[in-house]
Structure formats: C-alpha cells, structure tokens
Amino acid sequence: MIHHIPNVLSKEQVAEFRTLMHSANWVNGKVTAGTLSASVKNNQQLSEQDPLTHELSELVMKAIWNHPMFQAAALPHQMIPPLFNRYDVQESFGFHVDNSIRLIRGTQQQMRTDLSCTLFLSEPDEYDGGELVIEDTYGYHEVKLPAGDVVLYPATSLHEVSSITRGTRFASFFWVQSLIRDDSKRHLLFNLDESVRSLRMQHGDGYAEVVKLTNIYHNLMRMWSEL
C-alpha cells in the first residue's frame, strides 16, 4: 500500500535543509546503486561520509519516527539513516527495484528493506517532471508531494523518478524494516488501527468495541510480528 504522510518536516525545517544543501558537495548518485540500478541512475547525492548527511539524517529520523501515521503505517523495527539526492534538468532514475538487504550506515549490521520512503524537499511548482512513479497491481501511480511530506511504499515495487525538464528536485530517501514483513498484513493492521482510533474519538477509550478491537489488533501483532 502507498501512504502519503504529511507534514513530517515543517516549511521552516525544509527551508533550513535547502539552505544547507545549496552549498553542499554533491557526488554522482551511482555510488549507492546496485549493478542493474546504476545503468539507469542519473542524479546526484550527498556523500554518506559527509557530516551534513549525518546532521540532516538525524533530524529526519527524529521527525519521521515520532510521526503517528508513520508508526501506524510502517510499524517500524529499524531504519536505514536517510540519504539526500537532487535531480537537475535531464536527470532521472529509470525503473528499478531497491536492494532487498542493506547495511546500516556505520555498522556491519544488515537490514531487510520492507518499505521505501521519499521525503520531498522541493515544492511541486519548483520543477517539472521528477514524478516518483510506483508500479503496483493496479498500475502506475505518479507521486509529487509538497515539501516536507513523505511517501511510504513497499520496497518490492518497481519505481522510477521521471526526467526533470525544469528546475531542481531535492529529496531524502531511506528504507524501513517493519515488524510485519508482509505488506497485506501491514495494510490490515493499519485499517484496523484507523477504525479503533475513530471509535475512540467518538465513544472514548472505555467503549466495549474499542477494547475488543484493540485486543484483536495486539493479538494479530503477536501472531505476525518477527521480534
């Protein structure tokens, strides 16, 4: 399932990021691409070793980890520290699939990538093209969100960033290992959680159906989680 998570960063935070990124040292984006992905990847990114990458990553991780919709949709176990990229005119990243296993930066720990995330750092009217195109069983979905918003989608999806024809597209990207590996199970739990939240708002925490559905939610978590 594809989730739009709004307001992960405020407009003020985005402006700060952009000021710092404006004078940053950008490297060829192929440095973090796999063999097949590298053949269709034409963009720039901040080096993983750049202190600015570490500084901005920490801010993104804190913001996204504390976002209630992210917690409900991703059910995160651990996360790859975010990276940052830019696409200038005629740059793009053709259809590819993300690596299934990645090293967590600065460690020898491997992590399964269940979910891919893109945090938009440019407003949609700042550039033409540059849509994130995600393929699923229902076809192709073009995503171009306001700066500060995140799209969260299964890492199993084929996806691309279409060619830029005007302006520059800045973004952050990262991956999540979920407590629930299967996307369809995560989707069921998300919908159940949404229903419980709605009932709580209407009737309060002591409402009998809220208690019953909360019990079902946690028992499904016990059954399906990989901890």
| Binding-site residues from annotation for 2-oxoglutarate | 169
pLDDT in tens, 129-170: 999 999 988 899 999 999 999 999 999 999 999 999 999 999
Helix (H) or strand (E) holding 111: strand 110-112
The number of CA neighbours under 13 Å toward the Cβ of 44 is 15
What is the chain's mean pLDDT, rounded? 95
Cα 153 from Cα 140, distance rounded (Å): 13
Binding-site residue numbers for Fe cation are 96, 98, 159
Annotated binding-site ranges: 96, 98, 159, 169
- What are 23-62's pLDDT values in tens digits? 899 999 988 776 777 789 999 999 999 999 999 999 999 9
| pLDDT value at residue 81 | 96
User: What's the mean pLDDT in 107-123?
Assistant: 96
Crossing angle for the helix pair 51-65 and 11-22, to the nearest 10 degrees: 170
Q: Note the pTM of the prediction, 2 decimals.
A: 0.94
pLDDT at 61: 97
